[in-house]
Structure 1
Amino acid sequence: MEMIKEAWLRFFQSDEQTDWWKRKIRSCRNRDANIVRINGHGHVYEMIRYGRKETYHYLLHLALLIRQNSQFIREEQVIPFKMQLENDRITEHRKMETDLSSAKTGYARMEADISGSRSEQRFAYDRRAAVQYAHRWWNSYNPAYRTFDVDCTNYVSQCMRAGGAPMRGAPNREQGWWYQDDNWSYSWAVAHSLRWYLSGSTEGLKGKEMESASDLIPGDIICYDFSGDGRWDHNTIVVDKDTNDMPLVNAHTDNSRNRYWSYEDSLAWTSDTQYKFFRIGE
């Protein structure tokens, strides 16, 4: 659609988008990498007409070819936009923000629950299967599960489940880690709850806290507190390592593939951002 191309070009020159682009370039430079090529295309998934006004919701799919030493990395990101037209003129165009504050659901209850179990249970974590699932569904949604507005933790949980992580605790949403019959635990779908569950669980799925991102391997999990306020906002799964042995991650909200782990290119990132690095299955 020609209007989407015009709107995107206009937005690309805006202060907000300039900030995003600067963050992306700075993130690459910090890892001794550079952007070789960037391509993008838009896909309209909803159109609302009211009188002379038309509102389009569309997804911008960006594909970046990044070179780091002798390695080429194809990074992809899908960003939701809203564009409004009146009399065929663009009157509004902006990135659609996700309200990460909804991730606060179950905040205190999961913190109280995670220390409940003391029995030991080991499981064989199939990292390859978890990563394969992460690539299969990075930009789509498995119909076997509910899709959430803030879908990052639901997606990461599905990846771990595909790797053989055992579920427990159903049907109590405040206990364990599980998804069953279109119902789920807080730890399955809420970023803050999963972060505390991984560090506190001693049975089935549990996480071993690692000191740095470089300690992680594909299939492991990174948790993000962008504001540094103690509320954990986002989760990703490690799918690969770059030539500096640093993680590349997949995520939902915004959908991303082979993205550099630090998220310094994200408009949500701040200098107060805190991370937790979890080894899964050991």
Structure 2
Amino acid sequence: METLKQNWLDFFQSDRKEDNWWERKRGLYRDRKAEMVRISGEGHLFEKLRCSGQTTFRYLLHLSFLIKQHDLFFKEEQVMPFQFRLENGKLVEHKVMERPFQTEEIAGIEAESLRGLTEKRFSYDRRSAVQYAERWWNSYNPSYRKFDVDCTNYVSQCMRAGGAPMRGAPDRGSGWWYQDETWSYSWAVAHSLRWYLSGSTSGLKGKEMESARDLIPGDVICYDFEGDGKWDHNTIVVAKDADGMPLVNAHTDNSRNRYWSYEDSTAWTPEIGYKFFRIGE
């Protein structure tokens, strides 16, 4: 572990595959005319396996990037699960461990569940939503359940902190709500939240925007990594970079001030699809 801490840059560059997440991340910064001024990190070991002269370590790596873009400095943070393998004391393999996505086949919120609802607006406190996102980006509010795939649960909590009203309980397929260790599909399942935001006409709803540039802090981005119509991930916008593009916070692979496009994700594919939602309109 100490060897890895000494030089993060050499460690990442040791795997030069064309589709390596680190190369994509470096390319993303180049495209934004941004510079990594400093990289620091800390690993937290959670599993150690020994077999036939080999030792495998699995750990969470908390990375911090000091970024300069034009005259603006900001700090990006990301927590990723890594695995490395030693053979006779020599590093022979390292890789990012891929997180699982939710496997529930949820079709989303059916149009019938929205009938009969009257138009009702609410005042969305974006500052409170962002403050919550910053407070809990790398930890978990004990008032809510923690999920193995926690991205949508986290974004829902942020919107709730911003005053988004819950409705629909106890029908899990209706509305958007969390109550007594039970929740709607739209609260915790990425695919369902995406369809709820675009279909709701009362309380919490989303107005689809044309591009990421149109978003402001407190808004939400949905991701279909493979472009197959199944929505896999959600993030919340917490800031804008020097070019006016969104920076987001997220759970599962916990991230703070991450560039919105997720091109540096191990789940990214060229077929990725996005939906951009203005919350509260």
Change in CA separation of 1:86 and 1:21 when aligned onto 2, cut-off 3 Å: closer
**TM-score normalised by length of structure 1:** 0.89
Q: What CA distance in whole angstroms lies between the structure 2 residues aligned with 1:83 and 1:226? A: 26
The answer to which of 55-64 and 179-188 deviates more is 55-64
Report if aligned partners of 2:246, 2:260 keep a CA contact under 8 Å in 1. yes
Q: What is residue 46 of structure 2 aligned with on the other side?
A: 45
Contact 1:170–1:178 (CA<8 Å) still a contact in 2?
Answer: yes
Supply the distance in 2 between the matched residues of 1:75 and 1:254 (Cα, whole angstroms).
13
| Structure 1 or 2: more helix by fraction | 1
| Residues in 2 aligned to 1:214 and 1:48: alpha-carbon distance in whole angstroms | 45
1:216-259 per-residue CA deviation (whole Å, 9 max, x = no partner) reads: 11000011111111111111000011121111110112111001
* 1:251 corresponding residue in structure 2: 250
Structure 1 equivalent of residue 204 of structure 2: 205
TM value normalised by structure 2: 0.89
Aligned residue number for residue 143 of structure 1? 142
- Structure 2 counterpart of 1:31, which letter? R
Question: Paired residues, what number?
Answer: 280
Aligned mates of 2:209, 2:230 — CA distance in 1: 19
Distance 1:16 1:180, change over 3 A: farther
Kindly indicate whether the alpha-carbon contact (under 8 Å) linking 2:78 and 2:253 is maintained by their aligned counterparts in 1: yes
Aligned to 2:2: 2
The runs of 5 or more residues in structure 1 that have no matched partner are none
Give the residue type in structure 2 aligned to 1:266. S
- Per-residue displacement from partner, 1:136-193 (whole Å, max 9, x unpaired)? 1111111111111111111100100111111111111111111111111110111110
Q: How does 1:14-25 map onto structure 2 within 5 Å?
A: 14-15=15-16, 19-25=20-26
Instruction: Report the CA distance between 1:121 and its aligned residue.
Output: 1.5
Distance between the aligned counterparts of 2:25 and 2:12, measured in 1? 16
Instruction: Using the aligned pairs only, state the percent identity.
Output: 66
Q: 1:31 to 1:50 in 2, by over 3 A?
A: closer
State the 1:90 CA deviation: 5.7
The 10-residue stretch of structure 1 (8-17 or 270-279) with the greater mean CA deviation from structure 2: 8-17
Cα pair distance change 1:84/1:203, threshold 3 Å: same
- The alpha-carbon distance between structure 1 residues 113 and 140, as it changes in their structure 2 partners (threshold 3 A), is farther
Give 1:49 shift: 7.1
2:262 matched residue in structure 1: 263
Once superposed, what is the RMSD of the aligned Cα atoms? Answer: 2.6
User: What amino acid is aligned across from residue 15 of structure 2 in structure 1?
Assistant: S
1:44-81 CA distance string (max 9 Å, x none): 23456789876543111111111111101111111012
Look up the match of 1:165: 164
| Counterpart secondary structure, 1:237 | strand
Alignment deviations for residues 107-136 of structure 1 (CA, whole Å, 9 cap, x no partner)? 225345654453112111110000000001
Correspondences of 1:69-88 after superposition (within 5 Å)? 69-83=70-84
